Structure 1
Amino acid sequence: MTGTRTSTEVGLSTDGLTKSFGGVRAVDAASVTFQHGRINALIGPNGSGKTTFFNCVTGMIRPDSGTVDYRGTAITGRAPHRIAAAGIGRSFQLCRTFGRLTVLENVLVAQRDRSFARLLRGSRSAEDVDRARGWLHRVGIDHLEHAEARDLSYGQQKLLELAGVLMAEPETIMLDEPAGGVNPALIDRIADLVRGLNAEGRTFVIVEHNMELVMSLSDHVVVFDRGRPIADGPPDDVRTDPAVLEAYLGV
């Protein structure tokens, strides 16, 4: 665990956030606070509403009720590009890359002022290309810049998606299962990247099922069950919380 940061400044928060699909309430009046400048984790059993919560926060779906605030500014219901412009970037549970574009082109498209038309016209500055190559180097796949994204392994696609997120220069990064389907060596690389980027000032909110990774990486953990938070705090406190043990183990 990092253990060196003591800031409790509020970063991303929700109040009464709710989203239903038919008769199923996926997010149930969830009021959550994530700490700015820290590595926050959002965990919970399958079907507990974590990804739906992410989608409501980042504008992919509109919540039925409740509010989302980012560093004191209401962002509830904004379009995804406007939330990105506010300083929040995200990855997805299933990688979203453009298979027929090269690795370098994927990162260039991910700029905050991205435009397919600009890319297809070859309208890309040397500065943009250098910055994209810098992020590819940072995540360790710069040697693949001319490969098409569809030819990458799944783990390499995860790294490519992260490079694209970083290209937009977000202040807060929300990662949805970054270790899912990834081999242990690559999980270690992703963890090191998160620690390094956090040390440089970026906030993280991470949905993850790999409990070893969560407990070793996070400063602050929020636990969801049935669409709402049931516990939050430092990893060592959360792992022994009776409500968490009941949600996961039924004990």
Structure 2
Amino acid sequence: MSAADTVLRTEGLTKSFGGVHAVDGATTEFYEGKINGLIGPNGSGKTTFFNCVTGMIRPDSGTVTMHGKDVTRWAPHKIARAGLGRSFQLCRVFPRMTVLENMLVAVQPRTLGEYLGNTRSTETVEKARAMLARVGIDHLEAAEARDISYGQQKLLELGSTLMTDPPFVMLDEPAGGVNPSLIERIALLVRELNDEGTTFLIVEHNMDLIMSLCDHIVVFDRGRPIATGTPDVVKSDPKVLEAYLGV
């Protein structure tokens, strides 16, 4: 892959909490137009890496480059406006708002009062309903988010992430706590969106899903990459078998 194909690059990225190096000098590349994966054992630094990349926490050192721009110290909202959508390991929805209102929040740049008021355009509401249909929960649009299942909340979070049409989407354990039928729905949607041009970076512990879905995988252990390549290359790497699979 050339530099022009790189959607995200980190160089020497480091973040410590006390004496623990959660991310330890990580230099990585993820590629435009691909479904990229990031895997590793619990505590290997994957979510901290995500948080550094998306501006949720500031790294101690190193750089983050997205679409060729240094975004290392950008605020999360600025990174989002530059074309990055992101979901979280622990599903984040507004529990007392309806499913439809949760979708509309994703594209409203003003106050909470305006989210709940009459400032929604017909076009935005139609887009939200179309996205709910695409993720398969349009029949729940009037339900409060707290009253739908956890798997449905995951689909809602994914749908709201996609409301701004981000060209690059980072998903943190999209299959976590989700039943097999919903996992397949998420996988199908990711494949469809990737075919339409959306680039993905996915953290996931479901190895069957990650190996069947991803084109390019980076494996973390102790805060740094230990292997990179296609699923076939990665799953046969001795360092991966030792660190991740315990072989």
Fold shared by both chains (TM-score > 0.5): yes
Find the counterpart in structure 2 of residue 3 from structure 1: none
For residues 112 and 120 of structure 1, what CA distance do their matches in structure 2 show?
10
The offset of 1:101, in angstroms, is 0.3
C-alpha contact (below 8 Å) 2:6/2:67 kept by paired residues? yes
1:125 to 121, 125, 133: 121
Distance 1:72 1:15, change over 3 A: same
Which has the larger displacement, 164-173 or 8-17?
8-17
**Aligned match for 1:89, one of 85, 88, 106:** 85
1:222 to 190, 193, 218: 218
Q: Which residue of 2 aligns with 1:52?
A: 48
What is aligned with 2:192? 196
Q: Secondary structure at the match of 1:195?
A: helix
Long gaps (5+) in structure 1: 1-6
Pairwise CA distance, 1:120: 2.5
Q: Distance in 2 between matches of 1:61 and 1:114?
A: 24
Contact 1:91 1:161 (C-alpha < 8 Å) held by counterparts? yes
Aligned position for 1:28: 24
1:125-183, CA deviations, whole angstroms, 9 ceiling, x for partnerless residues?
10110111111011000010000000010000000000100012111000000000101
The separation in 1 between residues aligned to 2:197 and 2:117, in whole angstroms, is 35
Distance 1:242 1:35 in 2: 24
Name the structure 1 match of 2:152: 156
**Of residues 204, 221, 234 in structure 2, which corresponds to 1:238?**
234
Provide the C-alpha distance between the structure 1 equivalents of 2:204 and 2:42, rounded to a whole number of angstroms: 11
Name the count of aligned residue pairs. 245
Contact 1:84 1:112 in 2 (8 A): no
User: Matched residues, percent identical?
Assistant: 69
Distance 1:114 1:176 in 2: 27
Other-structure match for 2:99: 103
The match for 1:80 among 76, 81, 100 is 76
Task: Give the residue type in structure 1 aligned to 2:207.
Answer: M
**3-state DSSP class of the match of 1:232?**
strand
- 2:27 is aligned with what amino acid? S
The answer to whether structure 1 residue 70 and structure 2 residue 66 are counterparts is yes
Distance 2:4 2:211 in 1: 19
Gaps in structure 2 of 5+ consecutive residues: none
Further displaced range: 240-249 or 211-220: 240-249
Give me the CA root mean square deviation.
Answer: 1.3
The residue number in structure 2 matching 1:4 is: none
Q: Which amino acid aligns with 2:156?
A: L
Supply the AA of the counterpart residue of 2:221: D
CA contact (8 A) 1:85 1:112 kept: no
TM-score (normalizing by structure 2): 0.97
